[in-house]
């Protein structure tokens, strides 16, 4: 009896709860499944636009305050892509909505997240201060983990705050 209990205990320790599979976007390779855009309103901040395609190809275009533009294209690892989709769905980022008609402060920008997974489509535009809310911040950080830059225009250290 003791041996059977030990065997059962060993088996239970080795078992992991099964994770539900992530429902991946119903998109073709060229379709944009996630995009993020922000316009820097402060003189020292960049403007950035990122788009992620169904084939995991990501393009990030930045424009510095001096007007210099740079475009970088890369392929996102499958695990990162799946994790982004899981987080955006799990956090229900599409239900976020702005509560302000105009900028809470004159230099605030209004970053925009667009999701098109086929079965889930939305466009979320929030002011910088609204992106600091708990769930909105998690949505922004999920996207910034893919492109490696801040998700807000006025906080260059935001990605380091994870």
What's the rounded Cα separation, in Å, for the pair 16 and 25?
Answer: 26
Per-residue confidence (pLDDT) for residue 104, from 0 to 100: 81
Residue in the structure block whose two tokens are 């190809």: 57
Closest CA to 34 of 101, 80, 97: 80
pTM of the model: 0.80
pLDDT-derived band at 88 (thresholds 50, 70, 90) equals very high
DSSP 71-83: EEEEEPPHHHHHH
- Segment 15-56, tens digit of pLDDT: 445 467 999 999 999 999 999 998 876 667 778 999 999 999
Sign of CA dihedral 54, 51, 129, 120: negative
- Segment 125-147, tens digit of pLDDT: 999 889 999 999 999 999 999 98
């Amino acid at each position: 009896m003791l041996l059977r209990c030990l065997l059962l205990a060993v088996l239970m320790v080795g078992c992991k709860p099964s994770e539900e599979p992530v429902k991946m976007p119903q998109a073709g390779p060229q379709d944009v499944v996630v995009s993020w855009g922000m316009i820097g309103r402060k003189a020292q901040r960049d403007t950035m636009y990122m788009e992620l395609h169904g084939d995991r190809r990501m393009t990030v275009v930045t424009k510095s305050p001096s007007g210099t533009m740079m475009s970088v294209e890369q392929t996102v690892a499958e695990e990162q892509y799946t994790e982004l989709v899981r987080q955006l769905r799990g956090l229900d980022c599409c239900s976020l909505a702005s509560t302000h008609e105009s900028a809470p402060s004159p230099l605030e920008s209004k970053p925009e997240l667009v999701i098109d997974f086929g079965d889930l489509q939305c466009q979320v535009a929030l002011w910088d201060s609204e992106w600091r809310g708990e769930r909105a911040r998690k949505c922004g950080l999920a996207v910034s983990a893919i492109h490696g830059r801040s998700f807000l225009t006025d906080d260059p250290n935001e990605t380091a705050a994870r």
